[in-house]
A and B are shown apart, each in its own frame.
Chain A
Amino acid sequence: MDIRLESHSTLESPVHRWDPALKMVGFGLFILALAALLHVHAILMGMAASILLARAAGFSLTQVASRVKWIFFLLLPLYLLLPLRVTLGGDTPIVVGWSKEGLVLAGVISLRAMAIAVAIFPMWGTAPLHVSLRALSALGVPDVLVQLVLFTYRYLFVYFDQFHRMRLALAARGFSPGVDARSFRVYGSQVGMLLVTSYEQAERVLAAMKSRGYDGRIRTLETPKRELSDWGKLVLLAALSTLLVIGDRLWLG
């Protein structure tokens, strides 16, 4: 699975050319609007808008689908849990059943989450991470939060690398994953060691950054210049976000 958000940051598109700080504001509003949608039709429209924005930023449908599918898998338990209806009392103490409303709710939640996930591609994938983070700083987001995002993202790769190496080392010694007690013990040890070794490497990464003068502030070579078109794009996306919410509340319900 490719977890790099920045893999498309060197492409050319109207979204790439957008001033990073205004892009953050615009997509922030759009994501808030998506999160506020309640009805399936409105969420479907929101999803369509997200996909269009991702396409405009140069992401193919296959690329988007291959990454968003993981969100769907993560949300699969909702389809089991939300329709579950448990009634207490009466002659039989506990009645377990299924409700259609729960199933619809699971669908609404997962669709909304996937629409937001799709919107994250043009938001974060169209500029190098440090440029996006500097934009957040410029918008007044506290440095602590900016650093939190930076390190969370960077350390994800550390974890993935370590995990991959451990998996190879286990396979090289004949371990085949199973669902028995021994396998679970191995998984437990693997996760424990992963945390320990990744923590140690993360400490070394931080030391290496400090040794090159990192003091918690993100600096970039580029000096952002805002033009009228940047503000125009912001107005367009803010209008789209507002329309989605109004439509959801007034017409699409």
Chain B
Amino acid sequence: MARVDLRASKLSFAYPDGTHSLEGCDLVVREREKWALIGPNGAGKTTLLLLADGLLRPASGAIEVLGSALSNPREMVEIRKRVGFLFQNPDDQLFCTTVLEEVLFGPLNHDLPPEVARARADAALRSAGLEGYEKRVPQHLSGGEKRKVAVASVLSMEPELLLFDEPTNDLDPRGRVEILQLLENMPLTMLIATHDYELVLRVCSHVALMNRGRVAASGPADKILADKELLESCGLVQPEWLPYLLKGNGAAG
């Protein structure tokens, strides 16, 4: 059986204002699996991703990422070297003066020799289709280009687990297609929080349906998305076109 890359057990978290974002959340993600986290706003999707990157500390329960229990601050810092996080808004993520600096930021923080860091940055820029963008100013790029720079800045760290928070949010159709292709072709373990059902069907093998801070249902992506009643019970709406897409995929009818 494949290695477990992420295991959340009875995970709970509350923000300082008292909002309970996660309450007893359980999830297991194995190596090379691509999981979608779907659910209404406030279901706890982003919080789960932040916990998995060691950016938040659970109030109770346990989270194990790539074999590390994330039980102390040192482990929480160390895990970030092996996990890549794409934030929902690229403007939160991009802050360097040039695209190259942005993509180098992670590898240099991991104290890699300059030539290795540069080679990784070049490879990540190539993967993201950003060759020739090295000297461009990230803040002046289009939404789709910014998102690709953000992806490249994560890929340059050569992560073993990728966490994406709504990667197709606010993108124009072309930018969205480019990001979908990029995600489809990445042979890595992924956890993607999204409202984009097409992304789920194209990229993800599994879905965790979240509601009120816990995983209400999980399983193969087409099976979960085909269950209209289940989606509605968790505050989601099955788009009218989805059954046709699922039929095309040979799933539910």
- Residues of A at the B interface (CB closer than 8 Å) are 6, 9-10, 128-130, 154, 157, 161, 201, 204-205, 207-215, 217, 219-223
Choose the segment among B2-10, B93-101, B193-201, B217-225 that binds chain A (4+ C-beta atoms closer than 8 Å): B93-101
Task: Pick the most buried of A128, A205, A217, A219: most chain B CB atoms within 10 A of its CB.
Answer: A219
Q: A10-B135, A213-B109 are in contact. Are A208 and B97 (CB under 8 A)?
A: no
Q: What is the chain A residue whose CB lies nearest that of B83?
A: A211
CA distance A129 to B95 in the complex (A): 11
Assess the A219–B109 pair: CB atoms within 8 A: yes
Q: What is the chain A residue whose CB lies nearest that of B118?
A: A221
Q: Which residues of B contact A208 (CB under 8 A)?
A: 85, 87, 92-93, 95
Q: Which residues of A contact B21 (CB under 8 A)?
A: none
Q: Which residues of A contact B139 (CB under 8 A)?
A: 157
Assess the B108–A221 pair: CB atoms within 8 A: yes
Q: What is the chain B residue whose CB lies nearest that of A221?
A: B114
**Chain B residues within 8 Å of chain A by Cβ, number:** 34
Assess the A205–B95 pair: CB atoms within 8 A: yes
15 extra interface residue pairs, beta carbon distance < 8 Å, beyond A207-B92, A209-B105 = A6-B97, A10-B135, A128-B98, A129-B97, A130-B97, A204-B89, A205-B92, A205-B93, A208-B85, A210-B55, A211-B84, A211-B87, A212-B85, A221-B108, A221-B118
CA distance A130 to B97 in the complex (A): 9
Give chain B interface residues in 43-84, CB to chain A under 8 Å. 50, 53, 55, 77, 80-81, 83-84
B111 at interface, CB cutoff 8 A: yes
Assess the B97–A219 pair: CB atoms within 8 A: no
B137 to chain A, nearest CB (A): 9
A121 to chain B, nearest CB (A): 16
B157 at interface, CB cutoff 8 A: yes
Assess the B92–A215 pair: CB atoms within 8 A: no
B117 at interface, CB cutoff 8 A: yes
28 intermolecular pairs with C-beta atoms under 8 Å apart:
A6-B97, A9-B97, A128-B97, A128-B98, A128-B101, A201-B92, A204-B87, A205-B92, A207-B50, A207-B92, A208-B87, A208-B92, A209-B95, A210-B55, A210-B80, A211-B53, A211-B55, A212-B105, A212-B157, A213-B80, A213-B81, A213-B109, A213-B157, A215-B109, A219-B108, A219-B109, A221-B118, A222-B114
Q: Which residues of A contact B87 (CB under 8 A)?
A: 204, 207-208, 211
Q: Which residues of B contact A128 (CB under 8 A)?
A: 97-98, 101
Task: Pick the most buried of A204, A208, A220: most chain B CB atoms within 10 A of its CB.
Answer: A208
Q: What is the chain A residue whose CB lies nearest that of B104?
A: A221
Assess the B80–A211 pair: CB atoms within 8 A: yes
Q: What is the chain B residue whose CB lies nearest that of A219?
A: B108
Q: Which residues of B contact A10 (CB under 8 A)?
A: 135
A16 to chain B, nearest CB (A): 14
Q: Which residues of A contact B83 (CB under 8 A)?
A: 211
Q: Which one of A129, A157, A214, A221 contacts B109 once the chains associate, using CB atoms below 8 Å? A: A214
Q: Which residues of B contact A211 (CB under 8 A)?
A: 53, 55, 80, 83-85, 87
Q: Which residues of B contact A129 (CB under 8 A)?
A: 97
Assess the A212–B77 pair: CB atoms within 8 A: no
B12 at interface, CB cutoff 8 A: no
B211 at interface, CB cutoff 8 A: no
B142 to chain A, nearest CB (A): 16
Q: Which residues of A contact B97 (CB under 8 A)?
A: 6, 9, 128-130
B247 at interface, CB cutoff 8 A: no
Q: Which residues of A contact B80 (CB under 8 A)?
A: 210-213
Q: Which one of A130, A161, A207, A217 contacts B101 once the chains associate, using CB atoms below 8 Å? A: A130
